[in-house]
Chain A
Amino acid sequence: MNANRFTNRSELIGILVLAAFLVVILPLCLDVFRLNLVAKYLTYAFVALGLVICWGYGGILSLGQGVFFGLGGYCMAMFLKLEASSVENTKIQSTPGIPDFMDWNQITALPFFWKPFHSLTFTIAAVILVPGIFALIIGAAMFKRRVGGTYFAIITQAVAAILTILIVGQQGYTGGINGMTDLRTLKGWDIRPDHAKIVLYFFEVGCLFICIFIAQFIRHSKLGRILVAMRDQEDRVRFSGYSVANFKIFAFCVAAILSAIGGAMFALQVGFMSPSFVGIVPSIEMVIYTAVGGRLSILGAVYGTLLVNFAKTSLSESFPELWLFGLGGLFIAVVLAFPNGLAGIWQDHVQPRIDRLISSRKPKAESAWTDNSVADGAPAE
């Protein structure tokens, strides 16, 4: 039995490899523009991480993670937008001191729910709490009634559609279809120049690793094993004295909060937020990142996100009309041929070879069963 409940050796190596890749190799090899693209991709890695816990371990497929990504992103964007809309920046408006889109929509005073977003502390709390509480409500409403599987996936998709319509429709309060653009400073610090992008990149990578460690902690706790058990035999878990609904709600909320952190990072990195990151299509794309990376692998999710997004950028630069077919094809290929994604390929074909190399030098001591069975956080490059 593994005494270290936090992480085992091969996983630690995987995390170190990923850290070296993100902290050293990428910043050295890429120019600022490309590095900023990576930063944008990594915001989705937070979502993919959440999906590993919720979908991979818990078996709860959510096709509405864009909702939480969007809520987190909009909370952050509201703060940045207010800062960018100071009286002196907006003196040409008929009502100075409110965001430009409000002025265009004949709104003359800041709506009440915007006011607290003047505070950064409130904003950071809102980035976590708003999506967390929203997920809690959806989760409680669905899981307590034993709604699951496909029905749950469809409902999350409906929520994504509803939120998009709401944001687009309430133009005066949300910026409508254009979203919130022209975000400039964070507490007076300009987020637009190159050096700010680099600082934000490292800040984001730091947050990502904190989230990876949280995910690892959950996976290695008994709660992680209960999620896996629930996926296999929900009734057995229920009749072993657990409230299955509460565990599902927890997994769903964790996934929502991770997505929201990604969304907030997105607003900071990219400098705007719009409903096109909230709806059904982006939500499904996020599921594809997770599937490609391997839905059972925490680190695989990060690699999957990077890989699919790199492919997306390079393919849509050269063949814009082909990309969507490529994405669809990729999803079908993963589902049919590699159900455990890149991490599965790594684990079945690469890891055994490495193990053999190591074990030819010293006899194998670790209990392989424990590691393989729950499926793992092996890196997949």
Chain B
Amino acid sequence: MSGNGAGDRVTLTIDGRQVSVPPGTTILQAAETVGTRVPHYCYHPGLSSPAQCRLCLVEVEGAPKLSPSCVTAVQEGQVVYTESERAKSMRQGVLEFYLANHPLDCPICDQSGECKLQDYVFAEGRKHGRSREPKRVFGRDDFGGDVLFYGDRCVMCTRCVRFMDEVAQDPLLTVVERGNRSIIDTFFEEGVEGSPYAGNIVDICPVGALVSKDFLHKARAWDLEHTPSVCPGCAQGCNIDLHTRDNAVHRLKPRLNPDVNGHWMCDYGRHRYEWMNRPDRLTEPRTGAPGEQRPVEWTGAIELAVQGLREALERGDGVLAIASPFASNEDLAQLRALVALLGDGEIVYRSPRAEEEIPLPGFERLSRRRDLAPNSGGADRLGMKRVGTDDASGGLEVARDHEGILVVVGDELTDLDEAFGERASCYLYLGSYPTAGAHSADAILPITTFAEQEGSFTNFEGRVQRFWPGLTPAGSSRPAWSVLGLLAASISHDEVAPTGTDQAFERFSRLVEDFIGLDFASIGTRGAKRDPALQGAEGG
């Protein structure tokens, strides 16, 4: 078929540039590979293409009319112009039709700043509208759940309808009426509140027709900083962006990763971000008698903790540690290293579990997992044991009355009282929030949450994914790996405290089988899974 010997590839020319893509690719996708973005509304890479927005029309040499690039497959030797006079004037005409009914309420619209209509009209639209007819008015409609619908702003791309049909496979939305009066609507009084993935229709709406009630009027799109991160809602580990402003997370948005979550994320994860902004934080290290711990400098706190650990070691006390599946791989591995130094005790963790999984039918890889912690995968692979019930309580009866060294990292101990750790010879509490469980601690050391530090999580299938800090750490809190590394280095001269997250990762990824071969720098924003082929090669 192809004359250029490139095998199964089709070569065409887009705006004077040669492009070689697999057959069956659409012109729009082919253009994207060379950096030409053809304007579009109804096309979305995760959905089918109805070619109804008529905005992606491009000129194809030899074709009598302009072709919708989102559904036209590439052909050998095709010559495409996306910026020709015909294509441009067509786009300008289409945009003018959109503005015949779209209100100019950008100042009060939440989409302003990330609105495709705003962008396209700014780039190519007419300066002044010529329509003298009154605009149609629908007002605002509550679609249920977190979704609010402003009918006037809708450009009828039907992305939301297709998402509910094809991906969520729960057709709760449809188009009613015809022509100029056509509008998206729910079925009678039933909204989208029943669908656990309905929040995605807000993300894919190219204009401000579907907006989030939670985010309504909260911040402007251009004020928000985006930090690549991993959703801490469950073991799936959806790739997300933290949208922050004034050192607070304002919303979570899914970040494209075809191997984990595609373009989507569930509403459960999306709306669980408030805890990242909790104001009641441990901000400084404290040491002292039970209930009377006073703020001290980090150096003093570490020295005191080390002294306590050394004395307990000399007495030959056993060690018991409680970890948290919300801590990063680096934190957990460093805890493991410390516990190994102190005499190889048990490390347990507690994690919440849901009743059942919530799968996304149209994207099989994605499911809200039963395991509601982001890093149980890491804890399990580092040899930690899950205890307690499905609401992350109980299971600490042994630890409560443990008489040796007790180290708690991250667990908030919400169900425990002030008697916890009373009998421990040395009790170190590393946490982010004040708790009654830390009442008897010899040292309370503040640590950062995942949103304030760099690190990695291991998801349910063993994929290691990195996240970056989006918030400033509260007070003088530090990442747990840094604190635990310092403690280990102060106890043993063979240990050297890691000075960066990459070092902390490298320490354990060399030793722990499930991480061998992974390189922190090359994990990147897409995550990496250990190559199963390596497993056999290094087995002997």
A and B associate: no
